[in-house]
Amino acid sequence: AQTVTQSQPEMSVQEAETVTLSCTYDTSESDYYLFWYKQPPSRQMILVIRQEAYKQQNATENRFSVNFQKAAKSFSLKISDSQLGDAAMYFCAYRSYGGSQGNLIFGKGTKLSVKP
């Protein structure tokens, strides 16, 4: 069974600075998807960024980028130029590649605080 581990329960960053959230996972599959979701106090899970395991290039979405290390099974999220609105819970998630294997496996999350 696949597992996702987020070893940082809480992180803090100064506004406009850069922060990196860590995520490791365990799987025996060679093809899969990885996601970072943001959950603000409104409770809705918002997709931040996704990565397909067969792509070597790291995904980037504006101020958000990932460092995907397939051999090390590591998938960290870097937030540049942090903004107050980035404060939230961040969840790393794994999904198998097969079409019928649709469920997401989440880590326990990292609570990010942004200081003005």
By CB under 8 A, name the one of 46, 60, 69, 84 that touches other proteins: 46
**Angle of CA points 82, 84, 89, to nearest 5°:** 85
Residue 11 as a binder of other proteins (CB under 8 A): the answer is: no
105 binds other proteins (CB under 8 A): yes
Stretch of 16-24, 67-75, 80-88, 100-108 contacting other proteins, by CB under 8 A: 100-108
Say which residues have a Cβ less than 8 Å from residue 62's Cβ, sequence separation at least 6. none
In 17-28, which positions are buried (b, 16+ CB within 10 angstroms) versus exposed (e)? eebebbbbbebe
Structure-token pair, residue 50:
């996704």
* Interface pick for other proteins out of 59, 82, 109, 114 (rule CB under 8 A): 109
| Rounded CA separation 115/90 (Å) | 17
Q: Is 60 in the site for other proteins (CB under 8 A)?
A: no
- Report DSSP state, residue 99: T
82 belongs to the binding site for other proteins (CB under 8 A) = no
Quote the least distance from Cβ 13 to other proteins, whole Å.
21
Binding site for other proteins (CB under 8 A): 4, 33, 35, 37, 42-47, 50, 52, 91, 93, 95, 97, 99-109
